[in-house]
Amino acid sequence: MKNATRCLAVLLVICAAAPERAAADDRKGKPPGRPPGPGEDLIARVLFPPEMIMHHQAELGIDEKQRAAIIKEVEKAQGQILQLQWKLQAAAEQLVKLLEAPRIDEAKALEQSDKVMAFERQVKRTHLGLLIRIKNLLTDAQRAKLTEIRKRAA
């Protein structure tokens, strides 16, 4: 149960981190169309985290149908990501065992690292898909309002 809680916490951090970083950039007064800075997450600048929508749902005029659809999408993604986190952790543990050896079998270690990175890619892909589906559930006016909210937070 403790591992499941830890995995859920990691999931929440993953879901919240990238879009919040974009919001922080917006708060610094950097317009969305400007050239990227080093290490900047360009994708997060154009997507909206579910937490942001939830905190401004009244202002956005989120209706019951949208709310239910967003919740359904988040729950679906959380389930997928939780499964992937378990697989990722197991693969990472196997990689660590290979790396702990006094003499590392490079081919095996790199093969195992490919497995770890494949799970990481699946987590990121699932998260991106969630953010895309959420954005598509919003109206043009709601997306514009969210962009305005980001700018106001500056």
Domain boundaries, the chain: 2-152
What is the rounded CA–CA span in Å between residue 28 and residue 68? 33
Q: How far is CA 98 from the centre of its chain?
A: 29
pLDDT, one tens digit per residue, over 90-145 is: 999 999 999 999 999 999 999 999 999 999 999 999 999 999 999 999 999 999 99
Q: What is the pLDDT of residue 52?
A: 95
DSSP string of 84-109, one letter each residue: HHHHHHHHHHHHHHHHHSSS--HHHH
| Distances in whole angstroms, Cα of residue 102 to Cα of each of 78, 85, 93, 112 | 38, 28, 17, 17
pLDDT, one tens digit per residue, over 51-88 is: 999 999 999 999 999 999 999 999 999 999 999 999 99
Q: What is the pLDDT of residue 154?
A: 55
Q: What is the pLDDT of residue 41?
A: 75
* Average pLDDT score over residue span 1-21: 41
The pTM (predicted TM-score) of the whole model is 0.72
Q: What is the pLDDT of residue 30?
A: 47
| Distances in whole angstroms, Cα of residue 39 to Cα of each of 4, 15, 30, 43, 83 | 31, 18, 15, 12, 29
